[in-house]
């Protein structure tokens, strides 16, 4: 009996981005032989595959759309197990989803599948069948079977990322971030120190320091203090407001401190003169 050209493969290719290469549509009986030559983990994968193959077209292997409930009843297993094992068949390239199902409407619509095989596996099956060696005894040794479980484990292994593939951190440099944090802490400490000195009461030997608020403009603060100034202000209850005119807004911070210190000394001398009188 001649086996030449007994098996021919379809010229159609599905899912070219599959990890095992493009998928070839396979008829039902050829697909069942390919599935029987594979090793899966768990073994229930083959049972679900054979149940789904009974609903496939004999020539094309298409129009496979039994629902999860039907496969669960025929295979005598739970629906989550059916979904998990069918996903393994898809990952192995032995099933291709043609259309998604839907649970909306009056009747649920199951997903449609196509019986397939990776191109390399399908070509090897075709060559062995046409050469007449597929049914020889040594073809069914454990070492000759297609260990699909090991192939899936190798594909699912996470490849470590090299240092060259890691993109450098350009926008958020850690060194720049640390420097910004240190500068922020220094600004906060300076603001707290200036605030504590500004709230002191009584006469001090050092000239008073002004605290520049980040929310209120400096010119507005000077105008407010000038409007609220009083020549009879007491030195015991609060820091006196020094009467600064509008020209002081053009002075630098150091000149402003010297001006305030001179006004304070003048006020101290005036009060001392009144006490001695």
**Per-residue pLDDT tens over the stretch 146-181:** 999 999 998 876 444 444 443 443 444 545 545 554
Return the percentage of the chain with pLDDT > 90, whole number: 43
Q: Per-residue confidence at 251, pLDDT binned at 50, 70, 90? A: low
CA angle 253, 216, 258 (to 5 degrees): 20
**Are the CB atoms for 93 and 115 separated by under 8 Å?**
no
Q: What angle is formed at CA 149 by the lines to CA 146 and CA 155, rounded to 5 degrees? A: 105
Residue in the block written with tokens 């193959």: 53
- Tell me the pairing of strands 95-99 and 112-118: antiparallel
Are 255 and 140 in a shared domain? no
In a domain? residue 150: yes
Query: Do 143 and 233 fall into the same domain?
Result: no
Cα separation, 52 vs 67, in Å, equals: 10
Of 156, 183, 218, at which residue does a domain stop? 156
Lowest mean pLDDT among 127-131, 149-153, 208-212: 208-212
pLDDT surpasses 50 at 237: no
Classify the phi-psi angles of 73: left when phi > 0, otherwise alpha if psi is within -120 to 50, otherwise beta.
alpha
Domain C-terminal end among 156, 190, 215: 156
Domain match, 108 and 47 both:
yes
* Contact indicator for 25, 12 with CB cutoff of 8 Å: yes
Residue 195 lies in a domain: no
231 occurs within a structural domain: yes
With 80 as the cut, is the pLDDT of residue 275 above it? no
Q: Identify the domain boundary among 136, 156, 176.
A: 156
Domain-located, residue 81: yes
pLDDT digits (tens, 9 = 90+) for 105-117: 666 788 999 999 9
Q: Is residue 211 part of a domain?
A: yes
Q: Which two tokens stand for residue 262?
A: 């001179």
- Whether residue 230 sits in one domain with residue 125: no
User: Is residue 17 in a domain?
Assistant: no
Q: Does residue 190 form part of some domain?
A: no
**Token pair recorded at residue 12:** 């159609």
Same-domain check for residues 134 and 222: no
Q: Read off the pLDDT of each residue in 186-200 and give the average, rounded to a whole number.
A: 54
Give the domain extent around 50: 23-156
Instruction: Look at residue 225 and tell me whether its pLDDT is greater than 50.
Output: no
- 211 shares a domain with 136: no
139 and 213 both lie in a single domain: no
Residue 7 lies in a domain: no
Predicted pLDDT at 190: 59
Neighbours of 249 (CB within 10 A): 15
The neighbour count for residue 126, using CB atoms within 10 Å, is 20
**CA 54 – CA 248 distance, rounded (Å):** 97
The yes-or-no verdict on residue 119 having pLDDT over 60 is yes
**Cis peptide upstream of residue 230 (ω within 30 degrees of 0):** no
Question: What CATH number is given to the structural domain containing 88?
Answer: 1.10.10
Q: How far apart are CA 257 and CA 255, in angstroms?
A: 5
Average of per-residue pLDDT values in the chain: 75
Q: Are residues 111 and 55 in the same domain?
A: yes
- Given this model, what pLDDT does residue 74 score? 95
> What's the number of domains the chain is made of?
2
**What pLDDT digit, counting tens, does each position of 2-40 carry?**
556 689 999 999 999 999 999 999 999 999 999 999 999
pLDDT above 70: residue 63:
yes
- In angstroms, the first-to-last Cα distance of the chain is 141
Confidence (pTM): 0.56
């Amino acid at each position: 009996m001649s086996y030449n050209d007994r098996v021919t493969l379809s010229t159609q290719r599905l899912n070219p981005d599959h990890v095992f290469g493009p998928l070839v549509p396979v008829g039902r009986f050829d697909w069942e032989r390919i599935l029987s030559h594979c090793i899966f983990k768990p073994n229930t994968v083959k049972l679900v595959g054979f149940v789904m193959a009974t609903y496939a077209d004999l020539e094309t292997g298409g129009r496979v759309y039994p629902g999860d409930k039907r496969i669960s009843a025929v295979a005598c297993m739970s629906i989550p197990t059916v979904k998990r094992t069918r996903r393994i068949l898809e990952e192995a390239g032995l099933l291709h989803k043609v259309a998604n199902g839907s649970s909306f409407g009056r009747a649920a619509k199951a997903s449609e599948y196509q019986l397939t095989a990776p191109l390399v596996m399908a070509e090897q099956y075709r060559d062995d069948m046409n050469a007449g060696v597929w049914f020889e005894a040594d073809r069914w040794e454990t070492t000759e079977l297609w260990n699909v479980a090991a192939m899936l484990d190798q594909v699912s292994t996470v490849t470590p990322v090299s240092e060259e593939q890691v993109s450098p951190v350009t926008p958020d440099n850690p060194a720049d971030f640390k420097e910004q944090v240190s500068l922020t802490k220094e600004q906060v400490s300076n603001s707290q120190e200036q605030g504590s000195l500004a709230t002191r009461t009584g006469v001090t030997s050092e000239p008073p320091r002004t605290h520049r608020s980040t929310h209120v403009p400096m010119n507005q603060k000077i105008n407010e203090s000038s409007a609220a100034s009083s020549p009879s202000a007491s030195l015991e209850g609060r820091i006196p407001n020094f009467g600064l005119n509008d020209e002081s807004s053009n002075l630098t911070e150091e000149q402003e401190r010297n001006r305030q210190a001179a006004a304070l000394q003048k006020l101290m001398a005036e009060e001392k003169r009144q006490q001695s009188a």
